[in-house]
Structure 1
Amino acid sequence: MRANASHSSSLASRTQRPLSSGCTCDALWTEVSLLFFQVIFATDEWFAPAANLLKREQPVFVASAFTEFGKWMDGWETRRKRTPGHDWCIVALGVPGLIHGFDVDTSFFTGNHSPHVSIQAACLDTPPTFSLKGDRTGMAASDTQLTAVAKLHSEAWPELLKEAELQPGFSHCCNNYYSVSVTQRVTHLRLNMHPDGGISRLRVYGVGQRDWSDISPNQDVDLLALTNGGVCLGYSDAHFGHPRNMIGLGRGLNMADGWETARRLDRPKHLEEDEHGVLRVPGWEWAVFRLGHPGVIRSVELDTDHFKGNFPDSCSVEVCSLTAGEEAQSRSTGWHSGEWQILLPPKKLRADHHHVFHEASLCLRPPVSHVRLVIRPDGGVSRLRLIGRLAPTSPASTNPERPASKL
């Protein structure tokens, strides 16, 4: 029988992101730039628009592709600057939160990459009303846009990344990783090229953080959502897709946008069901999450969208309440410690289906802070939603990664 190997703070290397030579990104960090990440201002977009920075897809190069403005590039590329200053853009984070690292990707910009970069940040209580629309290839910021962005005083924003050298876009050095230490919430970034050139992608890694002051105690909210600060802390297997995908926004784009495990090698040669129609199997897979805010879970939504021939046979949900110290202890033991209690007993699942388990299906418990999704025997889940209400928090139970201050 294959053991349920655990992956907590030291996840498999394929899921870790190196942030500088000799170190790796903490596996619980999430790419907070993907969801609704938006470029709202750019000084110049002559060869390629800054909106390309936010593409989910990896950069591509088409040797024969040209526009009326020059070589088509899958990234942001400005003209060769012949005036004082440097090029820069403002981006609104898809998920406001705590930032721990960047990947400034220069793929395919081999003779035209920006030689240096710096990044500034702010937490804006009132989001800017301006934005960029349409294909802006061949364009530069207008006087009206320059006047509007000047009101943000972004040149005075604190620096997260001081001016740093960028490597060119050859495959062996195009990913420029930078680790930063930020203890305050960030909503917007200013990406500075020094002085001009091209960047393919900007990836921002961290932990989502929501301002909970506008949520009443009687309001139902997804306690696990990435946008609300939910974090995947550990899992048993993520061969085809990381469990952090399950807490993303909306429905999954495809199977890659969900959690999918390898087929368990200990599955019986001949499968049998129990009296409830659930397969009798010796093993299972699991994923552990910290809620964005402790709360009382009132319903569970589990979506197997896109998983038509590889959905789990059944699932269950376990819960517990941990302090920051207890969480650290559980992570160090691979989540083999802790007092887990059943919230949702084993339930049969269907292919490509949005399952909703209401209060009548749940073993209601006091407020909890952590959950463990168990699937049997293996398979894929697209989304997991835990709808509930906030519980009061005390200083002792507050996780240090959730400071209340703003940048």
Structure 2
Amino acid sequence: MADASKEGKLTRFLDFAQLVDMASESVGGKILFSTDDFFAPAENLIKSDDPSFKEHEYTEFGKWMDGWETRRRRTAGHDWCVISLGIQGIIRGFDVDTSYFSGSHAPRMSIQAANLEKDKLPEIPQRGVRTGAAATPEEFAAIAQLKSDDWNSLVPMTELKPGSTASSHNYFLVNSQQRWTHVRLNIFPDGGIARLRVYGTGQKDWAATDPKDPVDLVAIAFGGVCVGFSNAHFGHPNNMIGVGGPKSMADGWETARRLDRPPVLENDKNGLLQVQGCEWAVFRLAHPGVITQIEIDTKYFKGNSPDSCKVDGCILTTQEEEDMVNKKWILPAHKWKPLLPITKLSPNQNHLFDSLTLELQDVITHARFTIFPDGGVSRLRLKGFPSSICLLRPRGDPRMRFSVKTGFKANL
């Protein structure tokens, strides 16, 4: 997940570094091939943590580096590697990070991508320990079946900045709407890169979804994304909709302690804290649908979980969402429909709740998760059924219909 420690900074499409890193090892990204891994293996490129530097550490092959570093090439060609994305979908941007590669960084690079069908992929040899190694003829022969030389170019050959603190991040915006499953990173002719971040949104084949089984409609792997939040001091809300279970307290959404807490805390008759403040995060669902079950996991948050929470939903078009982003999500109260009323939470525990909205008329496109007064949550799952029509039937007049505008459907 992308780190974000700034309060009130909204997540928007062009702020692509706030989106999920689709290549990260934490979401299942995998290095399939690299031409050379002499000083440091390509697997370092997709580590989820930031690169580090150990000044006096060396291996039998040379200086220890936290990245991918090839030998000084003395043969024709250039170095490259192929990455299978852990989350397949739309790429919004890249960060080619050269941290600590000041005299050995790759001077130029380019990036290509492909959308490959899983059942048609060739058998690629397992890589194993790679430091000090170069690709074998057998590995070259296997990867050649992917014809990666001919993949689409997303970033042309571009010069990279060296890895000083002020210049290590090289950002590239991508304007493609196509779904991608693999990327190829080329470096010219050789050298080192610390990390490759592939930021974007997942995209699921909804036509292949079993209509009888509920699906997590807010999952980041399927295209769910946080589009606004009040505070993310210790962890971004996108972490809550991440792949798999939480790995630690860092793999969740955690806010700062609210400064407007009463000097002496009191409970109401229902055992809920009597506080005025709250923190919130708004998510665009991967697909409009009906939420039937809500899962809220506070695992690892033992002394800093929220006292309570609630979940609301609404329908917004693309333009309405953009308006709400600009207004910092000051949305009229009547737009929100309760999915989960204010409910007490326990520390370090997974909670399962039935949604209040179990009918077709309660299709939503966006959900707002509110915690009281502050704290941390590791996972949020909104399970239900996608709606292909996305109609809202107002309770007051069952004959009326609201249809989501074409612009919203096109954005999906």
TM-score (norm 2): 0.89
Judged with a 3 Å threshold, the aligned counterparts in structure 2 of structure 1 residues 128 and 303 are, in CA distance, closer, same or farther, namely farther
Question: How far apart in 2 are the matches of 1:277 and 1:13?
Answer: 29
Displacement after TM superposition at 1:271 (Å): 1.8
SS class of match (1:319)? strand
Q: Superposition pairs for residues 354-393 of structure 1, below 5 Å?
A: 354-359=350-355, 362-365=356-359, 366-393=362-389
Displacement after TM superposition at 1:14 (Å): 9.5
Extract unaligned runs of 5+ from structure 1.
Answer: 1-9, 403-407
> Which stretch has the larger CA shift, 219-228 or 113-122?
219-228
Displacement after TM superposition at 1:110 (Å): 1.4
TM-score (norm 1): 0.90
Q: Which residue of 2 aligns with 1:97?
A: 89
Counterpart AA for 2:19 = W
Counterpart AA for 2:213 = Q
SS class of match (1:173)? coil
Question: How far apart in 2 are the matches of 1:11 and 1:56?
Answer: 16
The alignment covers a number of residue pairs equal to 386
Q: Which residue of 1 aligns with 2:21?
A: 31
1:171 is aligned to 2:165: yes
Counterpart AA for 1:245 = N
Q: Which residue of 1 aligns with 2:155?
A: 161
1:285 is aligned to 2:285: no
Displacement after TM superposition at 1:103 (Å): 1.0
1:254 is aligned to 2:259: no
Identity of aligned residues (%): 50
1:209 is aligned to 2:203: yes
Q: Superposition pairs for residues 83-162 of structure 1, below 5 Å?
A: 83-126=75-118, 127-130=121-124, 132-162=126-156
Select 2:341's aligned residue among 339, 345, 356.
345
Mapped contact 2:125–2:142 kept (Cα < 8 A):
no
Mapped contact 2:294–2:353 kept (Cα < 8 A):
yes
Q: Which residue of 2 aligns with 1:218?
A: 212
Mapped contact 1:39–1:132 kept (Cα < 8 A):
no
Counterpart AA for 1:296 = V
1:237 is aligned to 2:247: no
Mapped contact 1:217–1:391 kept (Cα < 8 A):
no
RMSD: 2.2
Mapped contact 2:299–2:349 kept (Cα < 8 A):
yes
Mapped contact 2:112–2:155 kept (Cα < 8 A):
yes
Judged with a 3 Å threshold, the aligned counterparts in structure 2 of structure 1 residues 27 and 236 are, in CA distance, closer, same or farther, namely farther
Mapped contact 2:9–2:229 kept (Cα < 8 A):
no
Counterpart AA for 2:295 = E
SS class of match (1:149)? helix
Mapped contact 1:16–1:26 kept (Cα < 8 A):
no
SS class of match (1:163)? strand
SS class of match (1:226)? coil
1:309 is aligned to 2:303: yes
Displacement after TM superposition at 1:400 (Å): 4.0
Question: How far apart in 1 are the matches of 2:154 and 2:285?
Answer: 27
SS class of match (1:326)? helix
Displacement after TM superposition at 1:27 (Å): 6.7
Extract unaligned runs of 5+ from structure 2.
Answer: 391-404
Question: How far apart in 2 are the matches of 1:11 and 1:181?
Answer: 27
Q: For each residue in 1:81-101, what CA deviation from the matched residue of structure 2 results, as whole angstroms up to 9, or x when unmatched?
A: 111111000001121111121
Mapped contact 2:29–2:84 kept (Cα < 8 A):
yes
Q: Which residue of 2 aligns with 1:396?
A: 406
SS class of match (1:286)? strand
Mapped contact 1:108–1:170 kept (Cα < 8 A):
yes
Counterpart AA for 2:168 = C
Q: For each residue in 1:7-41, what CA deviation from the matched residue of structure 2 results, as whole angstroms up to 9, or x when unmatched?
A: xxx99589689x9xxxx735753322221111101
Q: For each residue in 1:311-363, what CA deviation from the matched residue of structure 2 results, as whole angstroms up to 9, or x when unmatched?
A: 1000000001122222222222221125001010111000111111135xx34
Q: Which residue of 2 aligns with 1:5?
A: none
Judged with a 3 Å threshold, the aligned counterparts in structure 2 of structure 1 residues 149 and 16 are, in CA distance, closer, same or farther, namely farther
Q: Which residue of 2 aligns with 1:191?
A: 185
Counterpart AA for 1:45 = D
Question: How far apart in 1 are the matches of 2:10 and 2:170?
Answer: 15
Counterpart AA for 2:85 = L
Question: How far apart in 1 are the matches of 2:370 and 2:277?
Answer: 10
SS class of match (1:139)? coil
1:335 is aligned to 2:329: yes
Q: Which residue of 2 aligns with 1:72?
A: 64
Question: How far apart in 2 are the matches of 1:215 and 1:131?
Answer: 32
Q: Which residue of 1 aligns with 2:394?
A: none
Counterpart AA for 1:152 = L
Question: How far apart in 1 are the matches of 2:9 and 2:38?
Answer: 35
Mapped contact 2:6–2:233 kept (Cα < 8 A):
no
Question: How far apart in 2 are the matches of 1:343 and 1:15?
Answer: 26
Q: For each residue in 1:45-89, what CA deviation from the matched residue of structure 2 results, as whole angstroms up to 9, or x when unmatched?
A: 111111110111221222332222222211111111111111000
Question: How far apart in 1 are the matches of 2:276 and 2:54?
Answer: 50
Counterpart AA for 1:165 = E
Mapped contact 1:303–1:382 kept (Cα < 8 A):
yes
Question: How far apart in 2 are the matches of 1:340 and 1:27?
Answer: 29
Select 1:46's aligned residue among 33, 38, 48.
38
